[in-house]
Amino acid sequence: MAPPVPGVEGQAPESRLLPGPQAGRPGVARPAVKGNRMTNRPTFSDEISNMLHAAHGNPITTCIQCGTCSATCPVANFMDQTPRRLIGMIRAGYKDEVLGCNTYWFCASCYHCTVRCPREIDIAGLMYALKRYSMWKNRFKEGLVGPVFSETFVKTILGSGRSYEPILAPSYMPSLGLRGFFQEAVTATGLMLKGRIPLLPPRIKRLEKFRKMVGKVIPGGAS
């Protein structure tokens, strides 16, 4: 059974939202209370919101659960949770359920949800943030291509500074089935024979500086 959506069926267990001075305005997150002491430890919703701090859109706390994002998403039928419900789950603090779903890994990055959101929330940016958070925490649903591909891609560019298809391909080719696997192999062989794919991965100049730059963006990226 899917968890209740805050604002519709229930309230957030991690932090309660105090009503704003006007109807429809976002509430204020109350710090978590442990015993008689207040703690400054951020909730799961706070962590995700902090990752979107530099985004152009409004914070997810302004979501009115209208469902426009879910209705406009071309791949919503393939997701464990719709974008609307996912936002509700984040605000409710359902961390395990959010990290265990495939929603943000199936995002097509078409940006229809971001463009059409009446509260101007960068929902596509939220999906990217959840991917990064999932990788940093090393917690994601088993059997997904996205996490393996992402990890392989980062390791590849850190190794040479460029993407290299023969290294990336094994991360997703098993999911294509036997027929798809051979079609990819035939295509790649033809491209190599024509010189379109180099036999060895190309390497950029000043690679160490590039790794330091990536390390400022991706935790542990320079290691």
**pLDDT given at position 220:** 52
Which regions of the chain are under pLDDT 70?
A: 1-39, 55, 219-223
Predicted pLDDT at 38: 55
SS3 call for 171:
helix
* Helix/strand number for the chain, H first, E second: 10, 4
Select from 171, 141, 142, 140 the least CA-distant residue to 154: 171
pLDDT of res. 21: 33
Residue 195 Cα distances to 111, 179, 198, 204, angstroms: 35, 25, 6, 19
The burial of 159, by beta-carbon neighbours within 10 Å (0-12 exposed, 13-18 middle, 19 or more buried), is given as middle
Q: Give Cα separations from 107 to 82, 92, 143, 151, 159 (angstroms).
A: 10, 21, 16, 17, 28
pLDDT value of residue 22: 35
Q: What is the pLDDT of residues 146-186, one digit of tens each?
A: 888 888 888 888 889 988 888 888 777 777 778 888 888 88
> pTM for this one?
0.68
Neighbouring residues of 31: CB distance < 8 A, sequence distance ≥ 6 = 15, 38, 39, 40
Domains and CATH numbers, the chain: 1-14+42-141 (1.10.1060), 145-214 (no CATH)
Distances (CA, A) of 181 to 151, 184, 188: 21, 5, 11
Give the N- to C-terminal CA distance of the chain in Å, as an integer.
41
**pLDDT for the residue 164:** 86
